[in-house]
Amino acid sequence: MTETSDTLQVEFRNVTKLYGAVAAVKELSLGVRRGEFLTILGPSGSGKTTALMLLAGFVAPSSGDIIISGKSVASVPSYHRDQGIVFQNYALFPHLSVRRNLEFPLEMRGMEASERATRVARMLERVHLKEFGDRMPSQLSGGQQQRVALARALIADSPILLLDEPLGALDRNLREQMQGEIKSLHCEFSKTTICVTHDQEEALTLSDRIVVMRAGEIEQIDTPEALYDRPTTRFVASFLGEANFLTDREFKIESDARTSDAMPMIRPERIRIIPPNGRLQADNGEHQFASGTIASMIYAGPLRKYEVRVGSTVVIIREHVAAGQQIFRPGDEVQLEWLRSDIRFVAS
Amino acid sequence: MNELRKIWRVPLGLTIPAFAILLVVFGVPAIQLFLISTNAPSFSITNYHAFFEQPGNILILLQTIKVSVVTTFICLIIGYPTAYLIVNASKTASAALIVLVFIPWLTSGLVRTYAWTVILGDRGLINNVLIGIGIISTPLSLLYNRLAVYIGMVHIVLPIMILPLVSVMYGIDKSLVAAARSMGARPVLAFWRVFFPLSLPAVRSGTLLVFVVCLGFYITPQALGGLSDAMLSNFIAAQLTNSLDFGPIAAEAFILLLIAIIMLSLFGLDLSGTQSQPDSVRKSEYGWASALRTLRRQVGEFVVPLRARRWPKQLYQPVHSGRSWNTLAAIFVILVMMFLLFPGLIVIVMSFSAGAFLEFPPSGFSLKWYRSFFGDSSWTGAFWNSLQIGVMVTVLSTVTGTLAAFGLTRTSSRIRRVLMLIILTPITFPTIVVGVACYLGLVNLGLIGTKIGVVLAHSIGAIAYVVVIVAATLSNFDQRLEQAAKSMRAGPIRTFVRVTLPLIRPGIIGGAVFAFISSFDEVVVTSLVSGFSLRTLPLKMLENMNQQIDPTIAAVGALLVLMPVLWIVALYLTLWRSRRAHEAGLPLAGLADRAEVPSSAAGQRQ
């Protein structure tokens, strides 16, 4: 890690958290830059939630240290840390109105009543809930509750914002809308934001960088694009998007970049299907080919997903639906074509 | 016959047997009682007037209210922190603690009262210990005063306070307190601003239940208090045995009932339980709760400058959690559990005493009091009576109660609420009122002093327990399973036998166990309706407690204590087995979740 501690807002230094003999988080080292949107992505049990709990101060690390704004916070309780948290189920106080919910963090910081009222009014306007200040949380829709939770986390102007599966409880349409909302709030308030999720789409659309975790350890840290385009491990390649692993038996991919335990991988949208008698690219060495049989075809709106059997391997291909395109049916003999440069080698 | 069949098709038809028993034994006589108290048909308030004309009566009434208020208050002070610590303990510890609270609640109140006479008596545990270590030379008189009454009453009603609190506190989302802390609220403040307001509905219902149960207390003040500690119940019971003039008795019963009803409607007892928490939170936004909130807000503004100064200073300051606090909490819980369980244990230990008197610690070990119990035909006869009555009550109330529960869960929620309230009256009204009404009901039927009479009188309470428990199980039962069975061409009867019954069996067994225990321990109503000929075990024990202090009753007490414990073990094993069988039974925590409703109905257990 090349960052110095003044550009880092949050830093994990060799943090381990043991539950009994099981390490939920193992030797975690990670720096989060000021103003960055960092997502911790992983399946359940990967330790991502524990990482967030450690950061929030709800659990203490078994060993290692956590630095926030240059201060060690390993034994600082959550109520002495200045941070806003959006909880998975929002954790809106059911006995307080929206207004009183938003006032709560300000009150804890000893803000005068008049100042609180101004801030709450401004924040309610910002999240388009101006008329809802006197409602109780139970009288709001899921999306509105989500916005109250975000507003409550942002209102005290804490430098750090933590999001725990922020969109998990919303349906698909609302989720896309809220992704936009979170993105714009992040641009506007430029808080250092750490988000925990198992939803890869959420991670890809929101984050500056993504940390993929597996079994308590970091698998890879990178920008969303780099992570999708150049995964370093088989786990990352298959957890983020779909991946075809090209076995030696059928494909025999050779490359200078290939190390002994590396496995060639290609994304489904990088492969083209062409009829067996169709024109083949003049082979200038940039393309590779394989022949197979269509096993299934699924039409999914803008995309068409094929499964093609090549020897004993099934290759997944995604094609954008376009006018005048040839449609293949199960049983059709086809040729597959891809660019040699689209092959990635991942550690298995 | 066809008409009858049609009635059974309507869900409400299933509630007919239960309501028939309730009406004949309790409902109609209660109305009759009211008419008698007003001298119907001439309608006058002379009986009420006569009651309030006597300063002594007013004194007893005020004393009843005062004792109930003080007991309730002590229960709240002890019960709230206990419930809080139970909920926040580790999973195993909290399940174990709930069982430890349940056990005394299930064991006979009569025996537990008796145990206090042993602990506090002149030759009792405390005096013997104090004399033994030489602090005092003559016994302190700890018994037969107000303090003893409070100790005994708090001991008996404390579980009724703790169980609803625990059930509601379990429902409070822990992330809310975490959220408050993350926003800068220190633990005490997070508790006070978030956890406490959310637990208020349980505080309200627990307080009300305990208060109403206390109003009807009869045995404990009589056994532990002095002559001046009598409550209205004792007064009513004494008149019922001595006089034949029903007017004043009816008036007194209704005055007691009126106080209970006023309290219930004033603070709005919500028997619907925890399902609608946000609503019930909102409902509490009137009266004292709202005043309290405004006051708190005002005080809050005072500390604003203080917080403003403190915030930057404390930011990123480490805090080391106090271990001493945890130790203190553990000691507190242990003390409360000892208070709840110790008396029962004392009785068991004492039943093996070799001495000729009741004394603790016993001077030697022997089984002679068990021998004297089993050798005395008046005791064994009473035991048989209790057993027979218990079994009959169990069968009658389990069948009618289960049918009623089925009918109730399949009707609209509005009708259900009303009918549920009615069916719960035998266990929410002050016991003595139920007793007086039952007495009148059995007089109507000519069944005073008969086993059938006692069975009917016990059944109305037992039905209420069965309905509450089976209805709770049914509300978790997915009716689509029945539809699925019917789609596979199973008829209604086969669907019930093959699908519904196996799934709700734990609830029915639980209801049956409660029905048996409630009948086996019942003594207040029994003492009024059993006439002079019929003796149940608790009734004979009560009489012997008053007449002679004979350790045989320790053996009886031990049997009465152990019986429910054995039952609960059997019940738990059944539930546990059924859970293993289809992974969907009631875990013990589930039993506790439902504790609110049965405990809301805990009236009879003194």
Mean pLDDT across A26-53: 92
Task: Determine the pLDDT at residue A258.
Answer: 65
Tell me: pLDDT of B587 over 60.
no
Residue of B nearest to A101 (CA): B180
Mean pLDDT of B419-428: 88
Asked if A104 and B180 come within 8 Å (Cβ–Cβ), the reply is yes
What percent of chain B stands above pLDDT 90?
29
Over residues B553-568, mean pLDDT: 82
Q: Which of A80, A95, A113 sits opposite B197 (nearest CB)?
A: A95
Summarize the confidence of residues A315-336 as an average pLDDT.
88
Q: Which two tokens stand for residue B360?
A: 């603790």
The pairing of strands A71-72 and A83-86 is unpaired
Tens of pLDDT, residue by residue over B65-84, are 999 999 999 999 999 999 99
Confidence tier at B337 by pLDDT (50, 70, 90): very high
Entry field: residues in chain A: 348
Mean pLDDT across chain B, nearest whole number? 83
| Distance separating alpha carbons of residues A129 and A121, to the nearest angstrom | 9
Out of B175, B308, B318, name the one closest to residue A109 (CB): B308
Q: Where are the domains of chain B?
A: 9-275+368-600, 283-308
- Under an 8 A CB cutoff, do A87 and B178 touch? yes
* Cβ–Cβ below 8 Å for A80 and B314: yes
Q: How many CB pairs under 8 A join A and B?
A: 118
Q: Which residue has the tokens 């009807």?
A: B216
B198–A85 CB contact, under 8 Å: no
pLDDT above 70 coverage of chain B, percent: 87
- B262 burial (CB, 10 Å; 0-12 / 13-18 / 19+) is exposed
pLDDT of the residue at A302: 86
Instruction: Tell me the residues of A at the B interface, defined by beta carbons under 8 Å apart.
Output: 56-58, 68-69, 71, 73-85, 87-89, 91, 93-95, 104-105, 107-113, 136-138, 152, 156
> Is A281's pLDDT higher than 70?
no
Per-residue pLDDT at A209: 95
Interval B170-185: pLDDT, tens: 989 989 999 999 999 9
In this structure, are residues B475 and B600 in contact, taking their beta carbons and an 8 Å threshold? no
Counting runs of H as helices and runs of E as strands, what totals does chain B give?
32, 0
| Per-residue pLDDT at B349 | 86
Q: How far apart are CA B428 and CA B464, in angstroms?
A: 10
Nearest CA-CA distance, residue B57 and chain A, Å? 44
Taking only the tens place, the pLDDT of each residue in A187-221 is 888 899 999 998 888 899 899 999 999 999 999 99
Instruction: Output B307 or B401, whichever has higher pLDDT.
Output: B401
> CB pairs under 8 A, 24+ apart, for B306-309?
B306/A110, B307/A107, B307/A108, B307/A109, B307/A110, B308/A109, B308/A110, B308/A111, B309/A110
Coil, strand or helix: which one is A19?
A: strand
CB contact under 8 A, A95 and B308: no
Rounded to a whole number, what is the distance in Å from the CA of A16 to chain B's nearest CA? 19
What is the average pLDDT across B209-236?
Answer: 88
By the CB < 8 Å criterion, does B174 face chain A? no
Does residue B1 belong to the interface with chain A, where contact is any CB pair within 8 Å? no
The region of weakest confidence among A6-10, A89-93, B317-321 is: B317-321
Task: Evaluate if residue B590 carries a pLDDT over 60.
Answer: no
Least confident of A161-170, B237-246, B536-545, B569-578: B569-578
Other Cβ atoms closer than 10 A to B502: 12
* Chain A residue with the nearest C-alpha to that of B306: A110
Percent of chain A with pLDDT strictly greater than 70:
94
* Second CATH level (architecture) for the domain B9-275+368-600: Orthogonal Bundle (1.10)
For B188, name the nearest residue in chain A, comparing CA atoms only: A79
Chain B partners of A84 at a C-beta cutoff of 8 Å? 182-183
User: Are A236 and A220 contacting, i.e. CB atoms less than 8 angstroms apart?
Assistant: yes
The answer to whether the CB of B230 falls within 8 A of the CB of A119 is no
Between B5-14, B71-80, B309-318, B486-495, the lowest mean confidence (pLDDT) is in B5-14
Question: Which chain A positions have a beta carbon within 8 Å of B301's beta carbon?
Answer: 113
Is residue B265's pLDDT more than 80? Answer: no
CA atoms within 13 Å, Cβ hemisphere of B482:
16
Closest-CA residue in chain A for B277? A94
DSSP letters spanning A103-141 = HHHHHHTT--HHHHHHHHHHHHHHTT-GGGTTS-GGGS-
Are β-strands A192-197 and A37-41 bridged in parallel, bridged antiparallel, or unpaired?
Answer: parallel
Confidence of residue A18 (pLDDT cuts 50, 70, 90): very high
Contacts of B191 in chain A (CB under 8 A): none
Token duo for residue B154: 């708090």
Query: What part of B 188-217 touches A (C-beta under 8 Å)?
Result: 189-190, 193-194, 197-198
What residues of chain B lie within 8 A of the CB of A151, using their CB? none
Alpha helices, H only, B89-145: 91-106, 109-120, 125-132
Lowest mean pLDDT among A140-154, A251-265, B70-84, B416-430: A251-265
pLDDT of residue B586: 37
- CB atoms B184 and A108 under 8 Å: yes
Does pLDDT of B389 surpass 80?
A: yes
* Residue A5, min C-alpha distance to chain B (Å): 17
Asked if the peptide bond before residue B430 counts as cis, ω within 30 degrees of 0, the response is no
Give the single-character DSSP code of A306. E
For B450-507, what is each residue's pLDDT tens digit? 999 999 999 999 999 999 889 888 887 877 888 888 888 888 788 888 888 888 888 8
Confidence at A230, pLDDT banded by 50, 70, 90: very high
Which tokens is B386 given?
């209790």
Closest chain B CA to residue A103: B183
Closest-CA residue of chain A to B276? A138
- Mean pLDDT across the stretch A92-116? 92
pLDDT one-digit tens code per residue, B35-50: 888 887 777 888 888 8
Quote the crossing angle between the two packed helices B413-428 and B377-409, to the nearest 10°. Answer: 170
Determine, for residues B175 and A69 on separate chains, whether the beta-carbon distance falls below 8 Å.
no
Say which amino acid occupies A145: Q
The answer to whether the CB atoms of B181 and A93 lie below 8 A apart is no
Sheet holding A71-72, edge to edge: A22-33, A8-19, A63-68, A71-72
Identify the weakest region by mean pLDDT among B38-52, B77-91, B568-582.
B568-582
Mean pLDDT of B194-217: 89
- Give the span between the Cα atoms of B148 and B224, in whole angstroms: 6
Q: In the predicted model, what is the mean pLDDT of residues A278-299? A: 79
Q: Which of residues 314-343 of B touch A (CB under 8 A)?
A: 314-321
pLDDT number for residue B577: 66
3-state secondary structure (DSSP) of residue B477: coil
**Å from A109 to nearest chain B CA?**
6
ipTM of the complex: 0.84
Domains of chain A: 8-238 (3.40.50.300), 243-347 (2.40.50.140)
Does the pLDDT value for residue A313 go beyond 60? yes
